[in-house]
Amino acid sequence: MAENKFHFFQSIAQSIVDHEIHTMFGLMGDANLFMVDDYVRSHGGTFVPVAHEGSAVLMALGYSKVSESVGVATVTHGPGFTNCITALTEGVRGHQPMVLLCGDTPVATPQNLQNIDQRELAKASGAGFEQMRTPETASQDVAKAIYRARVEQRPIVLNMPVEFMWEEVTHTKNVYPVFNDPMTLSEGNNLDEAIGMIASAKRPVVLAGGGAIGSDQNLIALANRLEAPVATTLKAKGMFNGHPYNMDIFGTLSTPGAYDAIDKADCIIAFGSSLHHFTTDHGALVKNKRVVLINNNITEVSKNFHPDAALVADAALTADNIVHWLDEAEIPPSGFTKELDTKALISHPPASTQKSKEGTVNFIYALEELEKVLPKDRLLTTDGGRFMTEVWCRISAPNAQSFITTTNFGSIGIGLQHAIGAGFAAPARPLVMFTGDGGFMMGGINEFNTAVRMNQDLIVIVCNDSAYGAEHIQFIDRDMNPSLTEFEWPCFADVAVALGGQSVLVTSNEELETAITAIENRSGPLLIELKLDPEDVPRMRA
């Protein structure tokens, strides 16, 4: 291997480039500014400067999701790192691989104002932690952090002591291969039991979760062989688009027609899902049914629900194997799909009216109209909040890889950052992001100007009911005064213009038509503010 003399910070930058990582998100400070400078000026890397450190992690997570690679972010020590904890936790819960290059204060100066035990903070978030050991081991330590992120499918914090930065080192390229071929097929009694349950099913359903993304053709072949409808969890939304018996999202977000079909089923064959209680509707949709669960992560198999049979195996290979044994045993198809109304499976109730209180628009009607005109090849991201379930149900994504949900930690204010990161993984595709007013004030307003500065094709729809809606409805349900949940926010459309973007304020159906025209004629980041009546926004489907 070729060896070159570098400073420590140059060795880190070179190590990132050695892994063919050409985009980094971050905020510079004392402990990382020279590394970032070298990454950009010596290697031509793209550095995306953020307004808040947590945003760098969130953007790296969005980049990781769409690029199917390791996202990289960098921040400085102390408060720079503490600002990342919510974002790291979101990444851990979402099983997203990324590396955070985090500066650390000098060991020799424990009185430094920004000194904190960064290992313990990382552990509290669930992220992995790697300490850079010596200046000479920089390339090895970077390689190990990236390797761990890929293998463990979670964020890894790589701690960079600031006092190492100008040390002279010998750089040697280190890239550790990951042996991630599909797992060996399951066999023995577990496989026999699973196939027996599937073969005897009269009304089976094939369900795909986030762990099965990329296995759509294999699962479709199994569903067609069984004459079973297909459905997804929220995280795999869009995976079966175009299939004649697609039921879209399974669970509390199902259409009435899909819910009825699932209720009639006698066997659920779930791939890559842990069967969260939203997916099972708190157990209602798996009651009196055989459940076969296939997941390549043993810790996910009985995390939320104990199935009747489980296979720790690859989704695609297992689906193919089940088809093989059904054919070998000459098991006839179930015929379940012949009982189903294909249109009803994916039809949510339409807006009951186009009318709304003066100065607002009907939320369901607005979503239906936006679905018709939003760019078809979009990357779709949603923030958290009361509004989100209707968006998930009524706004489509081209496929599962193009949908980013940010609800793994139940946080609001993190959707726009994911969208920006995703945009750097697919720069030719338009970004669509839905957020609430509270979420936009919490996090989106920080980074809308980042999208402007980076000239992204971004459409942000702010669903503004001038309240923290989930809390508002709880007060209403108990006949209590909800005024503490209500806010006189600034006009977000005006804020977007001040931040360098374009905007439309929608307070009527006529202005909704103006917004539709603005989508078609946009030339940069566009914000559409939907003014909503907090009493007329549908409840969360949970």
The residue out of 172, 197, 229 marking a domain boundary is 172
The two structure tokens encoding residue 229 = 């409808």
- The pLDDT of residue 1 is above 50: no
Task: Give buried/exposed letters for 338-358 (b at 16+ CB in 10 A, else e).
Answer: eebeeeebbebeebeeeebee
Residue 183 pLDDT greater than 70, yes or no = no
Burial class (CB in 10 A: 0-12, 13-18, 19+), 67: middle
Q: Is the pLDDT of residue 499 over 80?
A: yes
Q: What are phi and psi of 220, to 5 degrees?
A: -65, -40
Domain boundary among 345, 380, 410: 345
Does 223 reside within a domain? Answer: yes
CA angle 250, 255, 260 (to 5 degrees): 80
Distant-in-sequence, close-in-space partners of 334: CB < 8 Å, separation ≥ 6: 201, 202, 203, 204, 226, 227, 228
**Does residue 484 belong to any structural domain of this protein?**
yes
CATH number at residue 43: 3.40.50.970
Answer yes or no: is pLDDT of 177 > 60.
yes
Residues 86 and 233 in one domain: no
Give the tens place of pLDDT for each residue, 42-83.
999 999 999 999 999 999 999 999 999 999 999 999 999 999
pLDDT in tens, 316-340: 999 999 999 999 999 999 999 999 9
Q: Could you tell me if 7 and 139 lie in one domain? A: yes
The structure tokens listed for 176 are 């550790």
pLDDT at residue 468 in the model: 82
Establish if 179 belongs to a structural domain.
Answer: no
Beta bridge partners of 431: 379, 458
DSSP state of 1: -
The answer to whether 51 touches 450, Cβ cutoff 8 Å, is yes
- DSSP H helices in 227-308: 256-264, 298-301
- Domain check: are 211 and 273 in the same one? yes
Do 420 and 302 lie in one domain? The reply is: no
Residues 297, 393 within the same domain: no
Which strand ranges, in their side-by-side order, compose the sheet holding 204-208? Answer: 246-249, 230-232, 204-208, 267-271, 290-295, 309-312
Question: Position of tokens 């479709």?
Answer: 220
Side-chain half-sphere CA neighbours of 183 within 13 A: 14
For 6-14, what is the mean pLDDT? Answer: 96
304, 397: one domain:
no
Domain boundaries, position 237: 189-345
325 and 394 together in one domain:
no
Same domain, 425 and 519: yes
Residue 356 lies in a domain: no
CATH number assigned to the domain comprising residue 196: 3.40.50.1220
Tell whether 225 and 123 lie within a shared domain. no
Residue 386 pLDDT class (50, 70, 90 cuts): confident
Pairing type for strands 98-104 and 71-75 reads parallel
Number of separate domains in the chain:
3
Q: Does residue 414 share a domain with residue 277?
A: no
Say whether both 337 and 413 belong to one domain. Answer: no
Render pLDDT for 274-295 as a digit per residue (tens, 0 to 9).
Answer: 999 999 999 999 999 999 999 9
Residues 402 and 267 in one domain: no
Question: Does the pLDDT at position 260 exceed 50?
Answer: yes
Q: In this structure, what DSSP letter does residue 332 have?
A: P
Three-class SS of 450-500: HHHHCCCCEEEEEEECCECHHHHHHHHHCCCCCHHHECCCCCHHHHHHHCC
Do 198 and 291 contact (CB within 8 A), yes or no? Answer: no
Flag whether 354 is in a domain. no
Asked, for residue 395, whether it belongs to a domain, the answer is yes
